[in-house]
A and B are shown apart, each in its own frame.
Chain A
Amino acid sequence: MDNEKILYYGNELHDALTRRVMLAPLTEREPGITIEDAYRIQERMVSHRLDAGESIIGKKVGATSRAVQDLLKVNQPDFGFLLSGMVYGEGEAIPMQRLIQPFAEGEIAFLLKHDLIGPGITNVNVLRATECVMPCFEIVDSRITDWKIRIQDTVADNASCGVLVLGDHAVDPRKVDLGLTGMVIEKNGEIACTGAGAAALGHPANAVAWLANTLGRLGIPLKAGEVILSGSLGTLVKIAAGDNLRLSLGGIGRCSVRFV
């Protein structure tokens, strides 16, 4: 894909994000689009937010579960960038006007104390470089009409990242078995879904290692102080204005969010 088109789609996606409108899938309009093209579009999309004064606070790994990989017909995850303007506090109200067609995902967030620079990063390096793990709601959202995404569409759209909420517990990753950490999301007091750490590439640290190695090949480090979202541990939970959601992670803690 030529550079002009990359810039065009990156601009278009950022515009859709800020104006909260939906776009026809890129894969319909550009049948030849590659995943590499999609990451270049993502970079352009994100650059607008950096220009507007936001900063990168971390990265997310997406498409980490077998179900989502099957849906997108891929056999590897994807990634996107977390920006300062995405973060809400525990229990804070998120205005639905800010989002288009959001869903909630329960995840384990890693806060790094050392850089992780791939290739060659293993799960052991990840655990050693992690200051703490925290419960995290990732509110995914898509700028593509009705979530009709293929892998290139979601990658270009910054891995369908919307906003995120970090819980108020921070736990040493050496104190919990992250692969077996149970995950429960309640919506308005009813169980909406359950899951466990193994849903993220078998173990959440595997997802972070994958990210470090993938970004390492592109010359991008995971930096000390960054937040890394390691992937959804259950199914997507649909949300609407008025909903109250609570995430509980076994041995780690809780996180609450409400939508207005």
Chain B
Amino acid sequence: MALAPEIIARLAEHLEICELEARDTTKITDDHPTMDMEDAYSVQYAIRARKIARGGRVVGLKAGLTSRAKMKQMNVSEPSYGFLADYFAVQDGGEVNCAELIHPRVEPEIAFVTKAALKGPGCHIGAVLAATDFVVPAIEIIDSRYRDFKFDLKSVVADNCSSSRFVVGGSATPIDDLDLRTLGIVLEKNGVPVAIGAGAAVLGHPAAAIAMLANMLGRRGEEIPAGTLILSGGITEAVAVEAGDAITLRIQSLGTVSVRFG
């Protein structure tokens, strides 16, 4: 913990205002080079507390930085995580107002909904599968508050891992007969496939991201309660979108989810 509580509070206010007013900023480690990872999560939790204090609710969690390539690039061995606030949720087939966002990008993901609590340490893929009620296709809309998406790991964690909006849809599918590793995913922008992949792109198995998330939260003494929606991480590179775009995600055996940008 390198930063004083008042600095944490000030950074949280700054980043949240950037989010709410759709303004970009330079990365916060530029002004606070001594900031550590604990500080970064403290800023994120302070943003979360600001929303809750205004009557907002946290409706889920997200894992970020879940591909081996991105982890290597950022020189980390664990993913990162953020929270999903109630107003991040967009209806399947609904519209996202681009005026509320800075430079949105979309990522195809598999979302988990739990039916039992998950608590680390020691959480593993088997525990995640046993605690999973169902999975659904999810389009995550990320929108870094940092100019041109230029950030380092601590800055992005403080910024709630670029969380902005999300859409879940398709059919709620129990995982008993699914191999989440080999589920094919096709993300279409205006009818053209622009990102194609399979579940294994997330840490070899999307449930591995959930297990790591439970273990990271466990170190803070937190658990993932039953009934939590968790976005398990982008399966492909994020795709930039603008007003007028229509995005559809199709996932093998899970159905389709779509969103428009206005």
Contacts and interface: CB of A to CB of B under 8 A. Distances in A.
Interface string B230-249: 00000100000000000000
Contact of A181 (B181, B184, B201): B184
B252 A184 contact: no
Interface stretch (B15-23, B24-32, B192-200): B192-200
Interface size bucket, A side? 20 to 34
Interface string B130-150: 000000000000000000000
B193 A182 contact: no
Given A249-B182, A250-B183, A184 B193 contact: no
B197 A194 contact: yes
Interface stretch (A1-9, A45-53, A197-205, A208-216): A197-205
Contacts of B251: 180
Contacts of A66: 193
B204 interface: yes
A173 to B, nearest CB: 14
B200 to A, nearest CB: 4
Interface in B158-208: 179, 181-186, 193, 196-201, 204
Interface residues of B, number: 21
A179 B204 CA distance: 22
A181 B183 CA distance: 7
Contacts of B62: none
Given A194-B198, A196-B252, A184 B182 contact: yes
Contacts of A186: 200
Contacts of A234: 196
Given A180-B184, A248-B182, A199 B196 contact: yes
A112 interface: no
Nearest to A184: B200
A180 B186 contact: yes
The listed residue with most A CB atoms (<10 A of its CB), out of B179, B186, B198, is: B198
A182 B204 contact: no
A250 B179 contact: yes
Given A182-B182, A183-B184, A191-B68, A198 B196 contact: yes
A198 B193 contact: yes
Interface in B61-108: 68
A251 interface: yes
A194 B204 CA distance: 10
A36 interface: no
A250 B201 contact: no
Interface in A127-185: 177, 179-184
A207 B138 CA distance: 29
A256 to B, nearest CB: 15
A25 interface: no
B154 interface: no
A80 B177 CA distance: 38
A191 B200 contact: yes
Contacts of B199: 182, 184, 194
A72 B198 CA distance: 26
Contacts of A184: 181-182, 198-200
Contact of B198 (A177, A196, A202): A196
Contacts of B197: 182, 194-196
A182 B184 contact: yes
A190 interface: yes
A191 B201 CA distance: 7
Interface in A210-257: 233-234, 248-251
A194 B235 contact: yes
Contacts of B201: 191, 194
Contacts of B185: 180, 182, 196
Contacts of B182: 181-184, 248-251
A195 B196 contact: yes
B119 interface: no
13 contacts: A66-B193, A180-B252, A182-B184, A184-B182, A184-B198, A191-B200, A194-B199, A195-B184, A196-B184, A196-B185, A248-B179, A250-B182, A250-B198
Interface of B: 68, 179, 181-186, 193, 196-201, 204, 235, 250-253
Interface of A: 66, 177, 179-184, 186, 190-191, 194-199, 202, 233-234, 248-251
